[in-house]
Structure 1
């Protein structure tokens, strides 16, 4: 570790000096190793000469949207949830000043475990017996998150507490309408879903911290199939826990699904629980009323269709390079999401 290397987005010497002066138990110089995932944030594992480990995380390079990649927000969330039953990394320190390395950043503990992105990750990392543990642990952690009163952990101001789903529908429908011309793609079913979802919104219960992207790609798992940490809290806010729960279910593909948003999802491997087991576990842990669950499943598929539609439009307009990109995949995924949303909505008719 005596040889200094250049790290994109980081002034290594300045960041190491800040960590030395503002955290405990870490002694630079560090070995820097970039970590996968992380929503394009520049995330590195750090190891000092004594083997002490940490993770440093900052926004990506270039011009960013005003509220995107808020490292201070992430740091506040893992700090607040640290004393709870939700497994999160330990928050070591947050540097608000961009003078150190050109952007704000934070430092947290490095947690052992592996995230699952693809089917191959499950096959390579987990035995079939271990896969049987994942779904229950996945739901237990989500239930723990939704049992936390945000006011009790200093997160009561994380976002608006009322009408989470209604606000989300308005936001993503506006996105669809703004992208329709650029995408050269509109669908009357999407508009009908919008009207249905707005008219049938269930009453929201007490607001809870919602992760917003809770899936195995944002969780670390032990080799025994137990969650060791939940990561990537940057879009977390306060809202309806049932929406968070339904989103997690929508990420959980199972063998036999006729329509899937991801063909090689990690949960397609043998041994994983099916969605009915996840629903039973979450309901048992939270005591939630499942009457409106199809609504929330429909809402999340609607939202996914709008998000993917926006990405597709940027490719079609040349705002993102489409070199090597399968544009048909995005168009197909939009259609699949709309169809899945319609199927769930039909259960409420």
Structure 2
């Protein structure tokens, strides 16, 4: 057994569908605070990856790996860099929640400064631009052709996001936070006119991609649990929200992008505008919204950690100050001009 998975039952399920040689070894990996990730290694060294929702009580519609399975399966034949999908296990003998089974993608995940420092400065710069290229590919998906046109509502995305995440805050908050309430009001006031509707990844940042350490390109973009249909600039805003640079106030965000050589946020925006051909004038709204959502997500993680300590990871409990700092940074981002 391993926390969250009956390994004997999981092994039986996997070996009926994938050519692996028992015994299989299981290890929880990554710093993810949302869906839980496990590395599976067989007797010959072949590997798979499992994803399941966190333990304990979950908010409605959150951490839906069955939906993630649908999206990844639909995109398998396209040009978005992805792992291969092996299936979705919904057997209660294996786990109390569905388990997504995908291929292991070899490469580098930039989880800390040392990972980034191992790349040449030119490779760091190219990697940031490769993320923009990857988002452009996602946003170019033909929804009708891949069967995802009904994945979510086609109504104005900004309004949907504001309603949904304000509701998530009310359900998961651990205290009152006037600065967040004020930020929510400001976002409503800056809401852009509805734009085009595309596939949106919803959680695009460096920790969610596996990269080629030599070619400095994205080999796979992971963690599709927040994917939906909406304004493509929302993904760019999310990328910026997770992309600190020199001069930013301290936050809990990974500092990887502050290592010398990485593109600035303005460079990311300019590159995306060039390769996608899109107007990016509303990016400050989407940047602010991305930081607002991140603050709400962190508050939800705090709630789950307080409710069930099994959801703690190596980085420990998320402090309340981490949420406060992101809210303050979002107020600044919302006022920026490109």
- Same fold (TM > 0.5): yes
Aligned pairs (5 A) from 1:40-119: 40-119=34-113
C-alpha deviations, 1:140-177, integer Å up to 9, x for none? 11111111132221222222121221122123334556
When normalised by structure 2's length, the TM-score is 0.85
Q: Which residue of 1 aligns with 2:8?
A: 13
Which of 118, 123, 133 is residue 140 of structure 1 equivalent to?
133
Q: Please state how far the C-alpha of 1:235 moved relative to its aligned partner.
A: 1.8
Which of 218, 224, 228 is residue 208 of structure 2 equivalent to?
218
- Number of residue pairs aligned between Structure 1 and Structure 2: 331
Kindly indicate whether the alpha-carbon contact (under 8 Å) linking 2:81 and 2:221 is maintained by their aligned counterparts in 1: yes
C-alpha deviations, 1:218-274, integer Å up to 9, x for none? 11122122211111111222221111111101211122x232434651011111111
Kindly indicate whether the alpha-carbon contact (under 8 Å) linking 1:165 and 1:201 is maintained by their aligned counterparts in 2: yes
Aligned pairs (5 A) from 1:154-169: 154-169=147-162
Aligned to 1:13, the other structure's residue is in SS state helix
* Match status 1:245 vs 2:236: yes
Q: Given the superposition, is the C-alpha separation of residues 17 and 160 from structure 1 closer, same or farther in structure 2, using an over 3 Å criterion?
A: same
Q: Given the superposition, is the C-alpha separation of residues 104 and 264 from structure 1 closer, same or farther in structure 2, using an over 3 Å criterion?
A: closer
Compare CA radii of gyration and give the structure with the larger one: 1
Kindly indicate whether the alpha-carbon contact (under 8 Å) linking 2:241 and 2:288 is maintained by their aligned counterparts in 1: no
Kindly indicate whether the alpha-carbon contact (under 8 Å) linking 1:169 and 1:303 is maintained by their aligned counterparts in 2: no
Q: Which residue of 2 aligns with 1:283?
A: 273
Aligned to 1:54, the other structure's residue is in SS state strand
When normalised by structure 1's length, the TM-score is 0.83
Q: Please state how far the C-alpha of 1:19 moved relative to its aligned partner.
A: 1.6
Counterpart CA distance in 1 for 2:217 and 2:208 is: 13
Counterpart CA distance in 2 for 1:103 and 1:344 is: 37
Counterpart CA distance in 2 for 1:305 and 1:32 is: 32
Q: Which residue of 2 aligns with 1:28?
A: 22
Q: Given the superposition, is the C-alpha separation of residues 95 and 302 from structure 1 closer, same or farther in structure 2, using an over 3 Å criterion?
A: closer
